[in-house]
């Protein structure tokens, strides 16, 4: 297969996976909107905004542009990996500890447990996004498309299952947690061929690698 054919095949996979993901997301939101009570719709809207923000930050942050730089060696990639993981843990701690305060400010008592669940996502996402960036660097677009689509399907399945057990705005969070967990595991599985982290890190080295890229 020529490079052009590979690029066309990769583009096809990416477009198809994007269409599937958007369609599944619309289906999931429509279902929740029909089932949830009126007073929970505001919480659902807040949850959606937070989750969209997390996805945007995860895709553009966490040093993905630097990771895709082929000039980085394994030691530098390891420094970025641990720096991103530590950044995620810091956000997790701030969100988890402050969940009660944020819920009082928003006058939404139910929001505390929602934020506690969402905070866990910041521990999971940096690892998966690191390997996703490496797969992008290696032009493994079919694997990325497969991972994105399959993880969204798992997330939808968990959402439907939890809705069946007990309809709640938390069903969307459970589904998202399942999605990012599966996505992280599959990306780590695929990406291990190109990167295995070394146990080394310093804030100075992390800042230097980010600054150079």
Q: What is the pLDDT of residue 52?
A: 66
Mean pLDDT on 3-24: 51
1 versus 30: which is more confidently predicted? 30
Q: What is the pLDDT of residue 190?
A: 93
**H or E element: which one contains 138?**
none
Query: How far apart are the C-alpha atoms of 28 and 160, rounded to whole Å?
Result: 8
- Among candidates 56, 24, 53, 23, which has minimal Cα distance to 178? 24
pLDDT of residue 206: 73
Find out whether 7 and 140 touch, Cβ atoms under 8 Å. Answer: no
Q: Confidence band (pLDDT; 50, 70, 90) for 168?
A: confident
> Tens of pLDDT along 65-109?
566 667 788 888 888 888 888 888 888 898 889 888 877 877 777
Q: Percent of the chain beyond pLDDT 90?
A: 5
More confident of the two residues 73 and 6: 73
- Could you read off the pLDDT of 40-66 as tens digits, one per residue? 656 666 666 666 666 666 555 555 656
Contacts of 14 (CB under 8 A, 6+ apart): 141, 144, 145
Give the helix/strand (H/E) hosting 207. helix 203-212
Work out the average pLDDT over 12-32: 54
pLDDT given for residue 182 in this prediction? 93
Q: Report the mean per-residue pLDDT for the chain.
A: 75
């Amino acid at each position: 297969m020529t490079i052009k054919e590979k690029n066309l095949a990769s583009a096809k996979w990416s477009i198809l996976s994007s269409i599937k993901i958007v369609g599944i997301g619309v289906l999931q939101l429509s279902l929740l909107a029909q089932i949830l009570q009126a007073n929970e719709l505001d919480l659902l809207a807040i949850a959606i905004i937070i989750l969209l923000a997390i996805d945007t930050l995860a895709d553009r942050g966490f040093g993905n542009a630097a990771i895709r730089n082929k000039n980085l060696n394994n030691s530098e990639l390891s420094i970025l990996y641990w720096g991103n993981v530590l950044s995620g843990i810091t956000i997790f701690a701030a969100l988890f500890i402050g969940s009660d305060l944020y819920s009082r400010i928003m006058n939404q008592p139910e929001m505390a447990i929602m934020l506690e669940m969402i905070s866990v996502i910041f521990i999971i996402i940096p690892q998966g996004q690191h390997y996703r960036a490496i797969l992008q660097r290696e032009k493994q677009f079919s694997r990325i498309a497969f991972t994105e689509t399959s993880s969204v399907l798992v997330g939808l399945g968990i959402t439907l299952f939890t809705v069946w057990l007990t309809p709640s705005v938390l069903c969307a969070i459970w589904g998202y947690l399942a999605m990012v967990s599966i996505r992280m595991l599959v990306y780590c599985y695929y990406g291990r061929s190109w990167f295995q982290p070394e146990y080394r890190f310093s804030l100075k080295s992390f800042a230097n690698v980010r600054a150079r890229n």
